[in-house]
């Protein structure tokens, strides 16, 4: 069995009010080409097709066109689960009929999900559901965490698994220890959204969605494909890709990343304002986030920099890269007086100690605030 694993398309997403739809269309052209060129027997999309539950009509049209090219044009089954950004009911509309045409949609959670059989491989589609939804759908009042929900889904999948078939799980979850970025919407608070990679130890391959960096999740056969594009400044260093999975009749799965070439890259640059205005690497249409190293504010920096970088998305002050002041991390904050605490903070953020003028200014301001609060 040879199939492609992808996830987190987030169609309809905007980044700093800039529409990414043309960039997403460019990337999806490559997805279609990869399906055709690799002679894949299936395409698996592990959740978050859309960026929000009610996507813009342009995003719906793009998905419709892409799925038509894949299922009808390439003749390849497409298997999709709902992620935490998707509306399960909207995504699962007409899934019974569409499944007969090669488009398999797992939206709402089902008590007895049937696997999708392709050759000697059974694909078990495990859509995202928060514990409250799962308690109702699975009629199990004991489900309180995502770990318990996914464990219940996998147990039910095992009961439906036909003998003699390889077991592929498709899930949208946060596996503990994974590398996260700023653009992933948290599944919960307090750790209840995490699941342990050991849940998938018995599978032949687990296709995961949710985390945007392509990565292994605890075990070689449990993998995140990562997102279609870079969706935040924290993803600037990522290499986005589809994962080509080769699953032989026996033995472990083999995987290979197939990089996606973006229409415009998303990069993060740092430097002094005047140096950045000179565009040392030449003009660029890439999406950019700039970290300014200037000590003071720069007048009208965004507008001036956009004359050089038309797709500049954001700027922020950034301290020079430097090691933390010696001993700062080992000091307990509660043991510091306000003056020491601010000096440590200043050293951390500015990469240098306060000078006498800055120290005097802080002392004046802090004493004034203490006086206003009634402290002697």
Please report the pLDDT score of residue 145 as a whole number: 92
What is residue 271's three-state secondary structure?
A: strand
Residues of the chain with CATH 3.60.21.10: 2-259
Please report the pLDDT score of residue 340 as a whole number: 75
DSSP string, 135-154: HHHTT-TT--SHHHHHHHHH
Please report the pLDDT score of residue 186 as a whole number: 61
Q: 2-259: CATH homologous superfamily?
A: Metallo-dependent phosphatases (3.60.21.10)
Query: Helix H segments across 165-272?
Result: none
Let me know: does 301 contact 315? Beta carbons within 8 Å: yes
Please report the pLDDT score of residue 287 as a whole number: 97
Residue 63: enclosing H or E segment and its boundaries? helix 57-68
pLDDT tens column, 344-361? 787 776 767 888 888 878
Average pLDDT over residues 211-237: 95
pLDDT tens column, 114-169? 999 999 999 999 999 999 999 999 999 999 999 999 999 999 999 999 999 999 99
Decide if pLDDT at 323 tops 60.
no
Decide if pLDDT at 317 tops 90.
no
How far apart, in whole angstroms, are the C-alpha atoms of residue 207 and residue 126?
A: 10
Question: In this structure, which long-range contacts are made by residues 53-56, counting pairs with CB atoms below 8 Å and at least 24 apart in sequence?
Answer: 53/85, 53/86, 53/87, 53/90, 54/87, 54/90, 55/11, 55/12, 56/12
Query: Helix H segments across 94-203?
Result: 95-100, 131-137, 146-160
CA-atom Rg of the chain in angstroms: 25
Kindly tell me the sign of the dihedral angle through the C-alpha atoms of 298, 301, 307, 312.
Answer: positive
How far apart, in whole angstroms, are the C-alpha atoms of residue 269 and residue 292?
A: 9
How far apart, in whole angstroms, are the C-alpha atoms of residue 1 and residue 26?
A: 27
Confidence of residue 201 (pLDDT cuts 50, 70, 90): very high
Let me know: does 183 contact 232? Beta carbons within 8 Å: yes
Let me know: does 55 contact 14? Beta carbons within 8 Å: no
How far apart, in whole angstroms, are the C-alpha atoms of residue 232 and residue 196?
A: 26
What does the longest C-alpha to C-alpha distance in the chain come to? 80
CA angle 322–326–332, rounded 5-degree value: 115
Average pLDDT over residues 74-93: 95
Let me know: does 200 contact 222? Beta carbons within 8 Å: yes
> What pTM value is reported for the model?
0.82
What residues contact residue 276 under an 8 Å CB cut-off, 6+ apart?
Answer: 269, 290, 292, 305, 308
How far apart, in whole angstroms, are the C-alpha atoms of residue 355 and residue 358?
A: 5
How far apart, in whole angstroms, are the C-alpha atoms of residue 23 and residue 272?
A: 30
How far apart, in whole angstroms, are the C-alpha atoms of residue 244 and residue 40?
A: 8
Please report the pLDDT score of residue 263 as a whole number: 97
């Amino acid at each position: 069995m040879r199939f492609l694993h992808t996830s987190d398309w987030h169609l309809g997403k905007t980044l700093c009010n800039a529409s990414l739809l043309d960039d997403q269309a460019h990337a999806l052209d490559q997805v279609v080409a990869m399906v055709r060129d690799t002679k894949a027997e299936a395409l698996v999309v592990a959740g978050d097709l859309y960026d929000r539950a009610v996507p813009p009509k342009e995003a719906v049209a793009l998905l419709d066109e892409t799925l038509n090219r894949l299922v009808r044009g390439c003749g390849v089954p497409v298997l999709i689960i709902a992620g935490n950004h998707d509306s399960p009911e909207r995504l699962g509309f007409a899934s019974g009929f569409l499944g007969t045409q090669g488009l398999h949609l797992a939206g709402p959670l089902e008590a007895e999900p049937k696997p999708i059989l392709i050759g000697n491989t059974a694909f078990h589609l495990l859509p995202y559901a928060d514990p409250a939804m799962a308690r109702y759908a699975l009629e199990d009042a004991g489900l309180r965490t995502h770990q318990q929900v996914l464990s219940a889904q996998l147990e039910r999948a095992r009961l439906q698994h036909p003998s003699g078939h390889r077991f592929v799980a498709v899930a949208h979850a946060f596996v503990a220890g994974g590398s996260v970025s700023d653009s992933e919407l948290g599944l919960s608070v307090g750790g209840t959204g995490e699941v342990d990679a050991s849940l998938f130890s018995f599978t032949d391959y687990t296709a995961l969605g949710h985390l945007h960096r392509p990565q292994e999740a605890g075990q070689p056969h449990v993998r995140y494909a990562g997102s279609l594009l870079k969706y935040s400044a924290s993803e600037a260093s990522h290499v986005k890709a589809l994962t080509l999975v080769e699953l032989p009749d026996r033995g472990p799965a083999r995987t290979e990343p197939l990089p996606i070439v973006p229409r415009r890259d998303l990069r993060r640059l740092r430097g002094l304002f005047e140096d950045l205005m000179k565009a040392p690497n030449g003009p660029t249409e890439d999406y950019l986030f700039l970290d300014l190293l200037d000590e003071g504010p720069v007048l009208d920096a965004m507008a001036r920099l956009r004359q050089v970088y038309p797709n500049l998305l954001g700027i922020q002050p950034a301290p020079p890269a430097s090691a933390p002041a010696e001993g700062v991390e080992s000091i307990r904050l509660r043991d510091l007086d306000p003056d020491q605490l601010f000096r440590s903070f200043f050293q951390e953020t500015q990469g240098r100690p306060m000078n006498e003028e800055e120290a005097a200014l802080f002392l004046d301001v802090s004493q004034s605030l203490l006086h206003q609060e009634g402290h002697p």
